[in-house]
Amino acid sequence: MVGTALKPRQKAFVTAMASSNSIQEAAKKASVTVRTGYNYLANPTIKSAIRELQRRKMFEMTSRLNYASDIALNVLLGIMNDVKNNAQIRSQAAMFIIKASQQAFEDDDLAMRIERLEQQEERKEKYLRG
């Protein structure tokens, strides 16, 4: 939900910013001046609404990429396991799978470490607040 406390033009600007290449483009889409667009960006509520909308879009894109990755992996597995294919092609598919697996493991490990650090920071802040 795009910032319920926002006015209609502000909501239009937030939506436009999440899908535009520039403030100028977003301002035009939202029917506001570029100066107004910059003023909107100085508003923490509007900035937060833009970030939230961008996060949701990124989550949707990531979900779609995960789905496509499953299909792509099946294609690579098919190429790798098909003895009719040239050995070099089969080994390239295998190497790509190995590298992608390693990268996925490293990304997951990094995400877990960041999550732990964030949790520690939250506990520290709660402790300091009393």
Per-residue pLDDT reduced to its tens digit, 108-119: 999 999 999 999
- Cα end-to-end span (Å), the chain: 34
pLDDT for residue 2: 57
Proportion of the chain above pLDDT 70, given as a percent = 97
Average pLDDT, the chain: 92
pLDDT for residue 87: 94
pLDDT band (50, 70, 90) for residue 77: very high
